[in-house]
Structure formats: C-alpha cells, structure tokens
C-alpha cells in the first residue's frame, strides 16, 4: 500500500510492505549536473505535489567489472543525477535509532540500492531506521584541482565525500518525518565507505551529525587509498589535457562521457605508465580533509570496527560458484622475485619512516606460517599490511583515548574461495545472504542464517545502545598482552570472543601492529 510523509522539501509517497515503510530514490541534494558538475552539493529544491519514492534511484556512472561484481549485481540504471538515498523505517516508528550506510567500491564503484545493503530486515526485525546513500564516484566524485574551486564553498576537491556529509545533514533535518531520531545516528560503511566514515568522524565540523561509528574493513593508509592535493591535481590536469580541454573545462563535459573517457585513459599504456592507479580517492585538501586517517583523531564516540580474515582474496583469489575467476591480480610468480614484489608493496602501502626490511618481513611470515606456500604468504602479507594491521592500530589508538571500541574478525569461509575475502561480511550484516546474487556464494543453510541473525542483532544493538547485544563482547583493551582475548570471531561456530587470529604476525610491522609502536 502507498504511504505518505511530509518532509521540509515536500511530500513523498512510498510503499508499505510487511511492517516496513520503504521510501526509495529520495533526492538529498540538487542534481550535480551542468553548472553544478564538479562542485559542492547544493540543497534539494522544494517540489510541489507528491514525489513518488517507490523505486531505487540511479547509480552514479561507473564501470563495474571483476571483483566488484561479486558484491554488486549488474546495474541497470546509471545517471549523473544520482544524489538520492533510500529509507526503510518500521511502521509507526517514533524516535527510532538510525543507521546511515555508505557503500564501498574504492570510491569508483557500487551504489546504495544494491541488494546486499537492502535495509528491510534490519528495519523489520530490529526496529531501526536504515538509510543507504548514493554519491558521486570516480572522476565525478574525485577529480581535484585549485582551478575547480567552488566559489560558494571554497572547496576544490572531495565532491563524493561532500555528498556523504550532505546526506547526513539531510538526515538531521528530515529523518524525524520517517520516525527516526536525528540524535541517534550511526554512520557506517564498508571498505572505501568505511574509510570515508572515518574521515567524516575525524573532522570536528561534522560533530553532531552522528553518535556512533561502524567501520568494516576500512583501508586507512595514504596513497593509493587517499591522495594529496598536488598529486590529485597532477592527475586532473593530465585527464583534462588528454581529453582536449582545460581543468575548468572538465565541468562542461557530460558526466557519463567523462567517466567513460577517463576509464579509457587508464587502459592506455602511456597514460597507465604515468598513472598506474586513478587519483580520484579522497584528497588531503587542507579544507575538508586535514589529516590522513592514520594520523587523525576520531570523535570521542563508540566504534565498532573489524575486518575479514582473508581480505586479500578479493583481489587475488575470488571466484564465482561456477569457477569463473573474478580477481584481476595474481601473487608474484616464478618470473617475479617475491622480495622485489614485496619491496614495491611496502613502498606503495606503508606510510611510516623508516620502512621495514622486506627480508625481515618475509622471514617473519615464513616462520609464522611454516606450512604455507608462497601464494598464501603473499595473501597474508597483503591482508595484514593493507587492512588488518592498520585497522588493529586504529582501534588501539581510539581505545587508548578512552572511547569504547568493539573489534570483530569476520571468518565465514566461502565455498569456492576457501577463505573470507574483503566484502564478504556485508550480506550478513543486512540479512541479504539468501538473495539470489549471494546464496550460492556464501551459503543458505541454518548456520548461515544463524550467523547473519546474530550479526544483525549485534549491529542493531550497537546502533541503538552504542554496544553490541552480547555480554560476551567486551570493549577492546590495547593494554592487554599479546595473545589476549580481544576480538569477536564471526564464523561457522557463530560468535566467539578470543585472541585475534594471526595477531603475532602484526608485530612484524613496526608502527602498525598493536604489539609495538601504537601511539
């Protein structure tokens, strides 16, 4: 049946189904097209009459391929006019806590309407209001240069990050109309969405927009996860020159065309030699982003944070149930010396001086994993350096400042991959694991249902109360000795609190691991 709400911008018509009101494709900012392209998001114009909010809005223009298709089903509708969000609210909700979800995808892929993050079950079974957000991606969300300065805001970068902040302001102004409490907002995300959540929570200007934070597998180090303004500007200049225009002239290009042509540049051998990765990630601009996540200070709020046990498998060993490989990368092979590849990996991802000795790192992992082959050791090193050690360090830093931290280690093994890759946790958090896009990948048996139910309950309790719904999940304590119980393992045996799997390996990364050098 149809259901109506009145918002500050006008009336919305959604639909009511199984005890939940669904309002989909709600604009939270003006269309970022034409004169608003590559500029800060503007407020949504008021409308007259009734706006139909009964279908998911278009995803931001993107090229979805490879591993990103594991979590995201094919996107049918993409458009530059993409600044919409979705709300699932229990019928007759009043002052309900609110979960705002920012999808992952390296800030270049994904959308808030993906089946993985459908908010129906969390709203229906746990009484919270769920909001999922679309925002600008790729060049439309990340090109940065002083010549792109917005005269109204003074910003010249981070358009996609600004979209997320605009959506949170919309929540503060509007969510009460759906039965949500603007004073009980949790901001959450996975992968790049989680990294953006950390950036938002580190900026004092955003205080009051949220009460608690959930960060699932956030990549927390600088390039390529984040980029400096000079390097971002260099990339933007190169894109503009290659497309036959000026930096300012990029605003005159059709958004979908800009995304397509930038992607083509990255496949060009000469351009790719100069820029092996696109520099469209969140930018240290000194205005919106003042510090790298590993240097910044999170707001004094409860934090639920963790990772998957085998993060690297997403990029190196991810396959569909029919055996089709999705991962584009391969561990160092016979033609590439392992240590030389490790030197490059450390140079790319390790942000501190001095860098650790690759030989010492390799010796440490071989000693810790005596039965493992070179591929398994490479995947463990990649997982630890890029995700596990930085996240562990971040949790310790936040806990040492006196804020509650709850740490998890998601360890549900996929049938084909034989491990737990990046992003595998998302369908469990939302209870969408039985969706046809995921059932054969993660399983659809009683054990899968039980873990998903337990995780939904814990996440919803954190949104509601600032702590998971179990007395067996204590706060993270970085002062405990190595090997102490610190993490909630989420796997075939349900939820078990104990020592972190592979914790001893983190000691091989000075200035990252909890054992040494946590400031």
pLDDT tens-digit series, residues 161-192: 999 999 999 999 999 999 999 999 999 999 99
pLDDT tens-digit series, residues 65-75: 889 999 999 99
260 and 323 both lie in a single domain: no
Banded model confidence at residue 511, pLDDT cuts 50, 70, 90:
low
Max mean pLDDT among 127-141, 368-382, 494-508 falls in: 127-141
395 and 437 both lie in a single domain: yes
What pLDDT score was predicted for residue 448? 96
25 and 159 both lie in a single domain: yes
- Average pLDDT of the residues in 356-382: 91
- Average pLDDT of the residues in 311-329: 88
What pLDDT score was predicted for residue 517? 41
67 is catalytic: no
Q: How many domains does the chain have?
A: 2
Give the other-Cβ count within 10 Å of 463's Cβ: 27
248 and 351 both lie in a single domain: no
236 and 118 both lie in a single domain: yes
Domain boundary among 284, 314, 329: 284
Q: Is the distance from CB of 54 to CB of 15 less than 8 angstroms?
A: yes
Of the residues 40, 124, 191, 217, only one is catalytic, namely 191
307 and 269 both lie in a single domain: no
Measure Cα distances from 47 to 32, 43, 499 in Å: 17, 12, 55
436 and 492 both lie in a single domain: yes
Is 516 a member of any domain? Answer: no
Is 293 a member of any domain? Answer: no
Lowest average pLDDT, out of 33-37, 105-109, 246-250, 476-480, goes to: 476-480
Is 263 a member of any domain? Answer: yes
Is 294 a member of any domain? Answer: no
Percentage of the chain surpassing pLDDT 90?
80
What pLDDT score was predicted for residue 515? 40
Q: Which residues of 16-31 are buried (b: 16+ CB within 10 A; e: fewer)?
A: eeeebbbbbbbbbbbb
Q: Which residues of 272-292 are buried (b: 16+ CB within 10 A; e: fewer)?
A: eeebeebbbbbbbbebbbeeb
280 and 308 both lie in a single domain: no
83 and 212 both lie in a single domain: yes
259 and 199 both lie in a single domain: yes
- Average pLDDT of the residues in 497-516: 74
Banded model confidence at residue 416, pLDDT cuts 50, 70, 90:
confident
Domain hosting 322: range is 303-508
Spatial distance between the Cα atoms of 214 and 462, rounded to a whole number of angstroms: 9
Domain boundary among 222, 250, 284: 284
Banded model confidence at residue 335, pLDDT cuts 50, 70, 90:
low
34 and 77 both lie in a single domain: yes
Is 514 a member of any domain? Answer: no
Name the β-bridge partners of 78.
59
Is 291 a member of any domain? Answer: no
Banded model confidence at residue 354, pLDDT cuts 50, 70, 90:
confident
Is the model more confident about 194 or about 295?
194
What pLDDT score was predicted for residue 468? 95
Residue 393's domain is classified under what CATH number?
Answer: 3.40.50.1820
466 and 357 both lie in a single domain: yes
Q: Is the pLDDT of residue 513 over 90?
A: no
Q: Is the pLDDT of residue 518 over 50?
A: no
Average pLDDT, the chain: 93
pLDDT tens-digit series, residues 435-472: 999 999 998 899 999 999 999 999 999 999 999 987 78
């Amino acid at each position: 049946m149809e259901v109506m709400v009145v918002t500050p911008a006008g009336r919305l018509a959604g639909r009511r189904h199984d005890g939940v009101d669904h309002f989909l494709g709600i604009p939270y900012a003006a269309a970022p097209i034409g004169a608003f392209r590559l500029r800060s998001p503007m407020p949504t114009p008021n409308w007259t009459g009734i706006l139909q909010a009964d279908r998911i809005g278009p995803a931001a223009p993107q090229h979805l391929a490879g591993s990103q298709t594991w979590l995201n089903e094919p996107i049918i509708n993409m458009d530059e006019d993409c600044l919409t969000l979705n709300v699932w609210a229990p019928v007759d909700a009043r002052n309900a806590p609110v979960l705002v979800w920012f999808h992952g995808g390296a800030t270049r892929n994904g959308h808030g309407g993906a089946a993985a993050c459908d908010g129906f079950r969390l709203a229906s079974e746990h009484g919270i209001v769920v909001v999922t957000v679309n925002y600008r991606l790729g060049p439309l969300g990340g090109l940065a240069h002083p010549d792109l300065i917005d005269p109204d805001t003074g910003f010249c970068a981070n358009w996609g990050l600004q979209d997320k902040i605009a959506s949170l302001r919309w929540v503060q102004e509007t969510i009460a109309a759906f039965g949500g409490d603007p004073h009980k907002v949790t901001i959450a995300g996975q992968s790049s969405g989680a990294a953006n959540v950390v950036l938002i929570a580190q900026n004092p200007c955003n205080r009051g927009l949220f009460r608690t934070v959930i960060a699932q597998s956030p990549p927390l180090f600088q390039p390529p996860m984040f980029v400096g303004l000079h390097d971002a500007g260099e990339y933007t200049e190169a894109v503009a020159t290659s497309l036959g225009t000026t930096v300012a002239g990029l605003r005159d290009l059709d958004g979908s065309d800009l995304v397509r042509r930038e992607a083509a540049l990255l496949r060009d051998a000469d351009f790719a030699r100069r820029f092996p990765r696109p520099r469209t990630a969140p930018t240290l601009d000194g205005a919106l982003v003042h510090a790298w996540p590993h240097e910044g200070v999170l707001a004094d709020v409860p934090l639920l944070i963790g990772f998957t046990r085998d993060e690297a498998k997403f990029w190196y060993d991810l396959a569909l149930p029919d055996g089709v490989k999705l991962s584009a990368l391969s561990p160092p092979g016979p033609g590439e010396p392992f240590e030389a590849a490790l030197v490059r990996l450390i140079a790319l991802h390790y942000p501190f001086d001095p860098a650790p000795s690759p030989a010492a790192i390799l010796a440490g992992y071989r000693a810790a994993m005596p039965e493992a082959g070179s591929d398994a050791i490479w995947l463990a090193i990649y997982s630890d350096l890029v995700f596990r050690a930085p996240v562990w360090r971040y949790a310790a830093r936040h806990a040492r400042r006196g804020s509650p931290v709850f740490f998890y280690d998601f360890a549900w093994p996929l049938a084909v991959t034989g491990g737990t890759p990046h992003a595998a946790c998302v369908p469990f958090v939302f209870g969408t694991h039985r969706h046809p896009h995921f059932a054969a990948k993660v399983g659809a048996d009683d054990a899968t249902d039980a873990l998903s139910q337990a995780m939904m309950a814990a996440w919803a309790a954190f949104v509601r109360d600032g702590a998971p719904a179990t007395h067996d999940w204590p706060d993270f304590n970085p002062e405990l000795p190595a090997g102490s119980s610190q993490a909630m393992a989420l796997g075939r045996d349900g939820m078990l609190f104990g020592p972190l799997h592979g914790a001893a390996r983190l000691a091989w990364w000075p200035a990252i691991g909890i054992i040494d050098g946590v400031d």
